[in-house]
Amino acid sequence: MNTDDVDRGFRDAERAPRGVDTSKAHPSRRYDYWLGGKDNFAIDRESAETVAAGFPTVRLAAVENRKFLRRVVSHLVRDVGVDQFLDIGTGLPSAGNVHEVAQSADPRARIVYVDNDPIVLTHARALLASSPEGATAYLDADLRDPEKILTHPDLHRTLDLSRPVALMMVAVLHFITDDEDPYGVVRTLVGALPSGSHVVITHGTSDHLTPEELAETEEANRRSGVPFRLRSSEEFARFFTGLDVLDPGITSVVDWRPDEPAGRRPAVEDVSMLCALARVP
């Protein structure tokens, strides 16, 4: 490590909120960097650039994933009538957060955000302010511990789990490795939802990679310091077992109810992000 890296590390440590470990990259802060944010540290930027070495269009994938989030939330509120959201893996606040999109269509919408990064907590409390008619809450919890989320008193103070809820896991499940039982985590969360609820998932995919490209990407992810598991369409579909996947089915975030003509949308191979919206029967 050169002198500049050491100095930058000291600056990061000085401006980091209490509890933030600036020696380890975090997915939320890395995503913030790809979206052009400023709430990230040297280790996050280095990790992000390591991933980009194996997947050069990763920044584009982050942007398109965020666009999908806005479209799906708008659709759920305006066309389906959903007014409650549980957003797990919130990330750092940026333009077009779930509550902003939802409450612009229905000011009474209620949103619970969940993340496990202290810097997200700091910003969320300050910036994720609800409309007077609705409500927002933030839970400091980890997707790997779904029972903590489901039993948290702030969840039950904000959402009525006897009524339909939209469970959102946008660009987060690919951080849950196979040994952490991602399918069991999803089953537990979905099992707590009443009939008529909806499930939204996006996930990085290996569908468009050759074996050589996949090996290169996996190596880059390993070196980045953040565990990451690309999954195929078939593996992704397993998250929706027992659910009714709605049109247009399992597809790229680029092609889900797009608001731009085909000629202006990026190639699905460059984004490599699957998505689906499903209903709990």
Of the listed ranges 87-96, 199-208, 272-281, the one predicted with least confidence: 87-96
Q: Which two tokens stand for residue 273?
A: 């992000």
pLDDT tier for residue 126 given thresholds of 50, 70 and 90:
low
Domain boundaries along the sequence of the chain: 3-54, 58-279
Query: What pLDDT is stored for residue 68 in this prediction?
Result: 97
Average pLDDT value for residue range 143-168:
97
pLDDT tier for residue 39 given thresholds of 50, 70 and 90:
confident
DSSP assignment string, 17-46: PTT--TTS--HHHHHHHHTT-S---HHHHH
Position with higher pLDDT, 18 vs 245 = 245
Position with higher pLDDT, 10 vs 170 = 170
Position with higher pLDDT, 255 vs 36 = 255
CA distance 39 to 2: 23
SS3 content of the chain, % helix, strand, coil (to 5): 45, 15, 40
User: If DSSP codes are grouped into helix, strand and coil, which group holds residue 260?
Assistant: coil
pLDDT tier for residue 7 given thresholds of 50, 70 and 90:
very low
Asked if pLDDT for residue 122 goes beyond 80, the answer is no
CA distance 266 to 57: 10
pLDDT, one tens digit per residue, over 214-247 is: 888 788 777 777 788 999 999 999 999 999 999 9
Position with higher pLDDT, 132 vs 106 = 106
Asked if pLDDT for residue 94 goes beyond 90, the answer is no
Q: Is the peptide bond before 211 cis (omega within 30 degrees of 0)?
A: no
Question: How many residues are listed for the chain in this entry?
Answer: 281
- The mean predicted confidence, pLDDT, of the chain is 87
Asked if pLDDT for residue 199 goes beyond 80, the answer is yes
pLDDT tier for residue 23 given thresholds of 50, 70 and 90:
confident
Query: What pLDDT is stored for residue 1 in this prediction?
Result: 38
Query: What pLDDT is stored for residue 46 in this prediction?
Result: 87
CATH fold for the domain made of 58-279: Rossmann fold (3.40.50)
pLDDT tier for residue 2 given thresholds of 50, 70 and 90:
very low
pLDDT tier for residue 202 given thresholds of 50, 70 and 90:
very high
CA distance 192 to 169: 15
Query: What pLDDT is stored for residue 6 in this prediction?
Result: 36
CB atoms within 10 A of CB 16: 15
**Nearest residue to 103 (alpha-carbon basis) of 67, 133, 65, 139:** 133
Average pLDDT value for residue range 164-169:
98
Asked if pLDDT for residue 14 goes beyond 70, the answer is no
